[in-house]
Amino acid sequence: VIVPGYDVKIFDGEGREQPAGAEGAIVIKLPMPPGTLPTLWGDDQRFIDSYLNTFPGYYTTGDSGYFDDEKYLYVMGRTDDVINVAGHRLSTGSLEAVVAANEMVAECAVIGVFDEIKGQIPRAFVVLKAGVEVDPKALRMTIVDAVRDEIGPVAALKEVVIVPALPKTRSGKMLRATMRGIADGREVVIPSTIEDIAVLEAITPLLQRGTSAD
């Protein structure tokens, strides 16, 4: 629920306000209430360029989300977690919401990886709930069908990889950018805040191959 004093809106990439249920960039109309971030230390211009120039008259949060019919705000993820599949912009947060809804899945991460034909394609990495045993192919088909029904065929999700754990920082942030870099074959810098580097090392072959070890 929006705190009084904040005029929050959902914009598409062209700055058009979106209706209920449509996901887009979460922005806040200026001026904002006292106590909000006024600038970046020692770099006013960077603050302006990063947060105020994208949609003039609005503060850009960098998050994506949507309002439901009752004006509840749902934050789906960061706008830089939007992938481009054959010209269609898709939020990995929306895809993750569908994947996570599966009763066998404890947590998941969806990343967009490079594809020569479509630009990017989504790949889902899932951790199963404790004690769950499932045929990987059956789980993949169930999740792929759910994404097709909820998001549409344009999502083009075909790969669902079961992993023992997902790499996170000590504060609990999923290291999606690091996973994406490894999957794309790029050199990556491992964040110093990583909680357990062994987790990342364990799934690196799966990120590179795109297939489950099951």
pLDDT tens by residue, 139-170: 999 999 999 999 888 888 899 999 999 999 99
Mean pLDDT of 178-187: 92
Rounded to an integer, the average pLDDT of 173-183 is 90
Q: Residues 55-76: what's their mean pLDDT?
A: 89
212 pLDDT above the threshold of 50? no
Give the single-character DSSP code of 89: E
DSSP 169: B
* Band of pLDDT at residue 211, cut at 50, 70 and 90: very low
In percent, the amount of the chain with pLDDT more than 70 equals: 97
Mean model confidence pLDDT for the chain: 88
Q: Higher confidence at residue 196 or residue 23?
A: 196
Q: Give the model's confidence band at 214: pLDDT under 50 very low, under 70 low, under 90 confident, else very high.
A: very low
Buried b (16+ CB within 10 A) or exposed e, 47-84: eeeebeebbeebbbbebbbbbeeeeeebebbbbebbbe
178 dihedral zone (left: phi>0; alpha: psi -120 to 50; beta): alpha
- Greater confidence (209 vs 141) lies with 141
The class level of CATH for 80-209 reads alpha beta
Distance separating alpha carbons of residues 99 and 145, to the nearest angstrom: 10
For residue 197, the 8-state DSSP code is H
pTM of the model as a whole: 0.69
- What burial class does residue 43 get, using C-beta atoms within 10 Å of its C-beta: 0-12 exposed, 13-18 middle, 19+ buried? exposed
The reported pLDDT for the residue numbered 213 is 41
Residue 129 has a pLDDT of: 95
Regarding the domain delimited by 8-71, which CATH topology (the fold level of the hierarchy) does it fall under? Answer: Luciferase; domain 3 (2.30.38)
Q: Where are the domains of the chain?
A: 8-71, 80-209
pLDDT at res. 60? 92
Answer for the pair 196, 183: CB distance below 8 angstroms, yes or no: no
| pLDDT tens profile 87-137 | 777 878 889 989 999 999 999 999 988 888 888 899 999 999 999 999 999
Residue 77, pLDDT score: 72
pLDDT category at 80 given cuts 50, 70, 90 is low
